[in-house]
Chain A
Amino acid sequence: MSKGPSRRNFIKASAIAGATLLLGGMAGFPGAASQGHPHSGSTGRSKKKWVMVIDTERCDGCRMCTEACIEEHVVPSGWGEPSFQGVRQTTKTAVLQKPEHIGRQEWIKVYNMGEDLGPPGDKGNFLPLPCMQCVNAPCVKVCPVNATYHNEDGLVLIDNNRCIGCRYCMTACPYERRFFNWGDPSQSYTQEEKAKTVFAESSPEFPVEHKKGTVEKCMFCAHRVKFGKLPACVEACTKAGMKALFFGNRNEDVVSNGAEILKLSDLLKSRGAYRLQEDLGTDPNVYYLPPRGK
């Protein structure tokens, strides 16, 4: 806990380490890029296009991703946002929610597409929703002060030192993936969490110093992926045994959940992947794999 927030889950399994190296290459580490990854190029311009693939067949609705995300970013209160409470029994594990995490903003929210709290292991009924990191992002278009913007890798970030708190971006997001700090975020923290927010270095890539009156959301763990690490939620999902979340660089055509490394285009094609509300033209970077044989 007291260690750097991005280091805690680092190298949990050898598979993760492997994926780390792989992503490191994709992230364009000078060393890795020059060996065997001709696509990363040497122009200095970013060739990364991060994508997440979510296998709804595997997702058990355990909410490990949500828990890990809250832990990683010290996500503050959701101010009454309806959130899951209690234990969600899964086929693999019983995941206990940390009591202090109840009522926090859920940057990756696990929706139960059937009845809430459906039968355990009722596969394909859960839909985890992170920010879609839309290419044609409605939230970026409307921001009056450029506080929400695309970074060079195409991730949608928020500069909480610039945001004026107009919440126009929230009305614009068709996936309801934006949250607002309605009051003082630090009031929802435990002592431990407070210390973490004070000592970590805050930036739009890793906004641990959450600010009152500004907007928050998932940023695809920009602070981790740029160093070749998987996002916290992806790591946690694999650790829980679900392996439902994949992450990778579209330009490298490869995704990994830390345990497997798959060819993105094949995966999307063979599983009939879809994106949410594709008809809106937002061009999201999150793909969903529908359950098979049901």
Chain B
Amino acid sequence: MKKGTIPVEEKAIVNPLQTTGMKYYVVIGLLASVVGIGLFAYITQLTQGLEVTGMRNRVMWGIYVTNFVYFIAISMAGTLISAILRLTNAGWRKPITRIAESITVVSLIFAGSSIVFDLGRPDRMGHMLLFGRLDSPLIWDLFSLTSYLIGSILYLYLPLIPDIAYLRDSSTGISGIKQWLYKRLSLGWTGSEEQKKKLERAIKVMSVLIIPVAVSIHSVTAWIFGVTLKVGWHSTIFAPYFVSGAVFSGIATIILVAAIFRKAYGLESFLTLRHFKNLAYLMMAGNLIYVYFLVSEFLTMYYGGEPHDLMLLNAFFTGEYAIQFWTFAIAALVLPLIILAVPSGRTILGIVIAAVLANIGMWFARYIIVIPSLSHPFLTEGWNPYTPTWVEISITGLSFAGFALVLAIFAKLFPIISMWEIRGEQEGIASQESQHSIGPVGEIARDGGERAT
């Protein structure tokens, strides 16, 4: 690695870090104003209390909890792509790892903040640490979320070190602050063999450690619902059901984010159709597993025929929640599968459309998990009403715009594609890896079509 020289190949990756176009500022400005509206809404909620939301005594959780479950789910992205594919030596993952890992970190931040938005007394958040009760699934979630967040930040940071060092050394057009930042964060990386070995070891250990933590957070989130006695929540399959949903929407989010960076940063030569196709296959697998769980859940509810279960199913299929249910079923389950099943649908555009549909649909999937079970008449006569207010919608806007904003800023400071890893691939280290690749993931990697060059 010589000072100041950037191979033509990597120019495309580093370029966006050094030159910033007008478009970037426009996008940042738009996102920031959505975040601003959300902050205003949150201040309104803080001063007046949760009465400004559509939640009430019977439907006491609304779209904040929906967003929480949604963001927790997409945090699966990083672990799946980076850890699992790293352990199975699927070489094609390399250009996507950084994107996936950053999605994990940012989504966990907004999952956590969604819970804070939902609290009646956010000023007493510290009570969770002061008086935390180990019997409560919410405390399990707190532990799981913080360990996953810390683990994911480490896991994002470790493979970033060589790239930060690289940026530190190729000092062309870097401002003083950035230079200082890179110097600090690169921890004196020189790229020696010993350092490399240590780093590889650390990454490998992290990728093993992070998988159980990731599984735990999706399971614990499922158990928050599963351990209650509510109709539609009190189910033994909720944990694996949530894990499969997380795989599905995690991949869909990677596809979407990768497509945006590809266009915005001109990364066409790194993120090719092959990557999108491989991701699409994984997404299809996630979709099918989710359908499998959904069917087994609904079938047992229907066949048993308990009146409350049947009422809930009726509400989904033809009743009060039919619109949300069918939006979910068609957008998340049916359409992506149709698009991806036909070979002509497997273009980048087709795959991205499928991913967008899956993301929208899976948000509604969480909506119909959280709200109907509360709205369901238990002792009262009719379905309890719930309609989110402008405050809730604005704060949801804040979460999503904030998610995009943090990712956009991150990608301005650090290369969004792991340079040293794809360099490694070109130098032949990775070609060794892909020979050893095992299992279906390896198959996909080899059959995936075009190479990334």
Contact = CB atoms under 8 A, between A and B. Distances in A.
Contacts of B51: 79, 182-183
Per CB-CB distance, the 5 closest pairs between chain A and chain B, nearest first, are A165-B120, A213-B120, A183-B51, A144-B138, A182-B51
A144 B120 contact: no
Interface in A75-109: 78-82, 105
A250 interface: no
Nearest to B131: A145
Given A162-B131, A164-B125, A167-B120, A172 B228 contact: yes
A145 B118 CA distance: 16
A82 B380 CA distance: 9
12 contacts: A141-B135, A145-B131, A147-B131, A162-B124, A163-B120, A164-B122, A165-B121, A168-B136, A174-B230, A181-B49, A182-B51, A184-B48
Interface residues of B, number: 42
A164 B48 CA distance: 16
A265 B220 CA distance: 43
Contacts of B50: 165, 180, 182-183, 213
B127 A162 contact: yes
B20 interface: no
A142 B53 CA distance: 24
Contacts of B127: 145, 147, 162, 164
Interface in A124-158: 129, 138, 141-147
A80 B60 CA distance: 13
B229 A280 contact: yes
Contact of B57 (A116, A145, A147, A180): A180
Contact of B228 (A142, A146, A163, A182): A142
A144 B60 contact: no
Contact count band on A: 35 or more
A280 B229 CA distance: 8
Given A165-B121, A167-B120, A182-B55, A175 B379 contact: yes
Given A143-B136, A144-B138, A182-B55, A174 B229 contact: yes
Contacts of B57: 78-79, 81, 105, 170, 176, 178-180
A166 B119 contact: yes
B381 A145 contact: no
A171 B233 CA distance: 10
Nearest to A160: B121
A37 interface: no
B142 interface: yes
A146 B127 CA distance: 9
Contacts of A129: 379
B4 interface: no
Contacts of A274: none
A176 B379 contact: yes
Nearest to B130: A145
B388 interface: no
A181 B138 contact: no
Contacts of A178: 57
Interface of A: 78-82, 105, 111, 116, 129, 138, 141-147, 162-168, 170-172, 174-176, 178-184, 212-214, 280
Nearest to A142: B136
A189 B89 CA distance: 67
Contacts of B381: 116
Interface string B366-390: 0000000010001111000000000
B302 to A, nearest CB: 21
* Residue from B124, B224, B233 whose CB has the most chain A CB atoms within 10 Å: B124
A137 to B, nearest CB: 12
A174 B139 CA distance: 21
A145 B128 CA distance: 6
B56 A79 contact: yes
A125 to B, nearest CB: 14
Nearest to B140: A144
Contact of B121 (A144, A163, A184): A163
A171 B228 contact: yes
A142 B137 contact: yes
B138 A174 contact: no
A168 B56 CA distance: 13
B119 A171 contact: no
A213 B127 CA distance: 14
Interface string B192-231: 0000000000000000000000000000000010011110
Given A141-B227, A142-B136, A144-B128, 12 more contacts: A78-B57, A105-B57, A111-B379, A144-B136, A166-B138, A167-B60, A168-B137, A172-B228, A174-B230, A176-B379, A213-B119, A213-B121
B229 A184 contact: no
A170 B60 contact: yes
B436 interface: no
